[in-house]
Amino acid sequence: MGNSSLLGQLDSWSERINGWVDQGHFPGGVLDIRLDKRNRFQRAYGRLNADKLLPMELSTVFDSASLTKVVVTLPSILLLAQAGELDLSDSVQKFIPEFRHGQVTLRQCLMHSSGLPADLANRLERYTERGVFQEILEQELEYDPGTRTNYSDIGMILIGNIISRVSGQPLDKFAKQHIFDPLGMLDSTFRPPKAWQDRIAPTEWDGSRYIIGEVHDEKAFRLGGVCGSAGLFTTADDLSRYALSWLYPEEYPLLKPEWVKASLQALPEERGLGWQLWQGQEETLACGRLWSHGTFGHTGFTGCSLWIDPVRELVVVFMTNAVHFGREKPIRQLRPILHDRIFHDALQV
pLDDT at 59 over 90: yes
pLDDT tens per residue across span 199-225: 999 999 988 899 999 999 999 999 999
What's the CATH architecture for 4-67+184-346?
3-Layer(aba) Sandwich (3.40)
Residue 32 has a pLDDT of 96
- The burial class, CB within 10 Å (0-12 / 13-18 / 19+), for 258 is exposed
CB 105 within 8 A of CB 89: yes
Please tell me the predicted confidence (pLDDT) of residue 37: 86
Assign 2 a pLDDT band (cuts: 50, 70, 90). very low
Summarize pLDDT for 101-145 with one digit per residue, the tens: 999 999 999 999 999 999 998 777 787 888 999 999 999 999 999
pLDDT at 6 over 90: no
Per the CB < 8 A criterion, the answer to whether 190 and 225 are in contact is yes
For the ranges 5-9, 13-17, 23-27, 249-253, the lowest mean pLDDT is seen at: 5-9
- Rounded Cα–Cα distance for residues 31 and 349 (Å): 18
Over 50: is that where the pLDDT of 1 sits? no
Question: What are the residue boundaries of the structural domains of the chain, listed by start?
Answer: 4-67+184-346, 71-171
pLDDT of residue 83: 98
Buried/exposed 318-334: b ≥16 CB within 10 Å, e otherwise: bbbbbbbbeeebebeeb
Q: What are phi and psi of 136, to 5 degrees?
A: -65, -40
Q: What is the mean pLDDT of residues 173-194?
A: 98
d(CA 192, CA 212): 10
Tell me the torsion sign for CA atoms 220, 226, 230, 231.
positive
